Structure 1
Amino acid sequence: PVKPDTIAKSLAIGTPADGFYALKVMKETGGASDDVSDDEIREAMKALAECEGIFTETAGGVTVGTAKKLVASGKIPAEDSVVLCVTGNGLKTLDAVQGRVGKPDEIKPSLREFEELIESDTKVKTK
């Protein structure tokens, strides 16, 4: 077994299932890649949550953080439209952001409690 040295544990495995094919397609299509630090992953997760309301797992942070670096380096032109696939839920990797974000609100599985939470959250943000 490979012991990951990053918070993006789902990506830091010895032989990713589609790694060979992803690299092949990237090269064949003139694509580019980069890497990101754990801090860049966390920053990307935070930006996605704040800007889009999406709490992604660390692999999604890698996707967003890498795209940001590729735009900054000019490998992706700033005026281009880009689609990023971010599919994992941040609740799967809470340990990666522990102590850096507030504790999630807990409610009973009812519409009433959900609506009350949303209403109270909206009031706090508009003050």
Structure 2
Amino acid sequence: MEQSTITIQVNLGEDKVPSQIEWNAKGTTAQDTQQAKAFLLALWDGNEKTALRIDLWTKEMMIDEMADFFYQTLFTMADTYKRATHHDELSDDMKAFAKTFYNKFREKYLNK
């Protein structure tokens, strides 16, 4: 069986806030360590029927970047949900929400 290892390293400042996030994945085209300003990790515990999550971001992550990050994450989660379930209508609803979220952000915070 083939395996791939994903490594995420988080360096913390004195205040315990992430100062640097690095990741790499063996067996992919991204062989070199990559920098990130944020990450969301969600795992499904089938026994407990709960999502286990880690959400971290560095001080350098700007609010507009966070909005972009959430928009893109929500949008691609809708694609993943569609591929896994073939529920086109629900996937489309998720994408519509992502677009509404992003447009509201832009109206409220970028067009003052």
TM-score, L = length of structure 2 = 0.23
Of structures 1 and 2, the one scoring higher in RCO (CA 8 A, sep 6+) is 1
Give the strand-richer structure, 1 or 2.
2
TM-score, L = length of structure 1 = 0.21
Give the helix-richer structure, 1 or 2.
1
